[in-house]
Structures are given as C-alpha cells and as structure tokens.
Structure 1
Amino acid sequence: MKLFDDFLACNILGSQLRSLYRFGHMATCSGKLDDFKFCMSIKSMHPEEKRDVWIRRRAEWWAQRRREKSSEDVWDIRTEPLTNFPPPRMSADVDTASTID
C-alpha cells in the first residue's frame, strides 16, 4: 500500500503548493499512479516472472532518468578557485575590548 499512499500524498494540498513554490507548476502525480497500477498488475504473476518484470521496469526507469535533465545541470564546475574569497579579515573588524566573561 506504500505506492498508493505515495500517490495520495502527492495529490494533497501541501505537496501541490510545495511543487508550485519550487518549480512554478503543480505536481504531476501520474508517475506515482503508474507505479501503483504496475504493482497491482504484477500481483498475480509467478514470483520469478514478477522479479524479471520488476528488474526490467527499474532498468527502464534508470535509463529514462539519465536521459532527462537533473538538478545538477544547473551548476557549472569551477576550474579555478574564486579570487579574494573568503575576504581577508581586517584588524579593525576584530574588537579585542569587547570580550565575553
């Protein structure tokens, strides 16, 4: 029932508002519904056949995930460090008169 619970949790107001805030659009929960339907469809299969079908589905999921964009696509790797970071501390910034006793 975890897949069904995940589908329902995706559709609640909090999840939809979070998706709207983070991504600018409402969450599409069709993937979670497809996972639940897949689980129900393999319920009557033989355990070995069920395992093979599940492994194939996971392999397809990973292949699709590698083809799609990732949050890591936003960032560029630096080839050299930033200049003047962190900024050097000036002696005027450190006040030795105010200490905590």
Structure 2
Amino acid sequence: MECVKDEIFGAVMLILPFDNDEEVVQRANKTGYGLAAGLYTKNIRRAHRVAAQLQAGTVFINTYNDTEVYIPFGGYKNSGHGRENCLETLHSYSQIKAVYVNTQDKLEHHLG
C-alpha cells in the first residue's frame, strides 16, 4: 500500500485493520522513513510497548503533533535532518573554529 510506505505531509490519517501488534510494527517499520508515528488506544501499556518497537524519531500516543520546544524532534532513516528544538540543533548549525591572536607588540613565529 503506497500510503503506508511513503512519507505523507498534510492532514492525513490512515486507519487500517490489523490482526496483532507485530503486524502493525512490521508494516510501520517497512518504510524508508521514520519522522513520526501516532498511536491511538485506551491501553497505554500496550501503546508504550508498540512505541518502543517503532523506528520513528517521535511517537505520539493519543495525540499528534503536540510538541514542546525543549523536547528534541527529528526522524529516523530518511526522515528529517538531525534533531530540532534542542541543544543538538545548535551544534548541527555550527562549525567549530579556533582563532589564535598575538596581542603583543612583538611579532613572533614558532616555526623553528
């Protein structure tokens, strides 16, 4: 099913029948993407068990796209570009550089 394998952006919710949790996890992880996943259930323990097996950077349980700015957000596999909303974001947009400055009036070299 193409809508299960491809990454969809927009207001789309797939409701598909399944026989067991293993089938759901296998179907969800079969894609090359893994930005986010959502689970809706009354059984929170079951949701946590399934969420732990999903290859997704973020898993929402009984909600979707309800993120906090201090919690890292990003995908697995071919989804996303690292993590956003955290210190790791700053590092991903930074490049370290060392600059040495001689503030003495006398110029020196240490090449031998």
Report the TM-score when normalising by structure 1.
0.20
Q: Which structure would you say has the larger RCO, counting Cα contacts within 8 Å and 6 or more residues apart?
A: 2
Report the TM-score when normalising by structure 2.
0.19
The answer to which structure has the higher strand fraction is 2
Structure with higher Rg: it is 1
